[in-house]
């Protein structure tokens, strides 16, 4: 399936049938999120995978009882760093230098400039920046799921603080950003199945300066 065809096939599934998504497909969706581009290559987010039925049930009331939480095969929670610190930036570049086989001196000036821009900023500003990076991975995951014909429901409608608490995210210096239940559509129970996808026309959507 080509990407545009896949994106026309997908929709924000409202009712899932409980069928399990094969692990190899889940792994490809996670890999697409992992390979997403991020600012300065910091990759300042994690993806939490929830399959435990009791935990999904506990999360349900904090997501406005949206049934995809419990009917999904895998619930992906995208969580961003709560701040940029000397330590987490060093961790990224230490790993990068090691894997590329270059000395720390090769990136020292760049790392110093990056820390100068980020570390002393307000924590909330840094979290919002990290959250935008998480959304890039989120989009990649949605696209990969569509290519695999796995249904996925982009979801912001939840109580972030409660989700953070249930998943123990603050102890990991993370805050939830968005969730993506994965599964398969309930062809008979989902009112959105088969409805025409409606978007702006390309002429209205694109603004050109020639």
Mean pLDDT on 3-11: 97
Mean pLDDT on 73-83: 98
pLDDT at position 1: 73
Contact present, 18 and 190 (Cβ < 8 Å): no
The model's pTM: 0.96
Checking DSSP bridges between strand 45-50 and strand 174-183, what pairing results, if any? unpaired
pLDDT digits (tens, 9 = 90+) for 88-126: 999 999 999 999 999 999 999 999 999 999 999 999 999
Mean pLDDT across the chain:
97
Contact present, 75 and 59 (Cβ < 8 Å): yes
pLDDT at position 80: 98
Find the angle CA(157)-CA(162)-CA(164) to the nearest 5 degrees.
100
Is the pLDDT at 169 greater than 90, yes or no? yes
């Amino acid at each position: 399936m080509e990407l545009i065809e896949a994106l026309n096939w997908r929709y924000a599934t409202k009712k899932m049938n409980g069928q399990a998504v094969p692990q190899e497909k889940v792994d490809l969706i996670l890999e697409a999120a992992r390979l997403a581009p991020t600012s300065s290559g910091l990759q300042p987010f994690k993806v939490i995978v929830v399959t435990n039925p009791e935990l999904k049930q506990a999360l349900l009331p904090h997501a406005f009882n949206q049934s995809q939480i419990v009917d999904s095969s895998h619930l992906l929670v995208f969580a961003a760093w709560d701040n940029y610190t000397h330590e987490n930036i060093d961790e990224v570049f230490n790993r990068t230098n090691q894997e590329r086989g270059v000395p720390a001196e090769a990136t020292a000036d760049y790392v110093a400039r990056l820390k100068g821009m980020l570390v002393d900023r307000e924590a909330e500003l840094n979290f919002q920046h990290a959250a935008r990076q998480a959304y890039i991975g989120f989009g990649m995951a949605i696209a990969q799921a569509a290519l695999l014909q796995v249904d996925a429901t982009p979801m912001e409608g939840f109580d972030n603080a409660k989700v953070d608490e249930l998943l123990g995210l603050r102890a990991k210096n993370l805050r939830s950003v968005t969730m993506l239940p994965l599964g398969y559509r309930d062809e008979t129970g989902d009112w959105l199945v088969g409805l025409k996808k409606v978007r702006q026309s390309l002429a209205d959507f694109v603004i050109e300066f020639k």
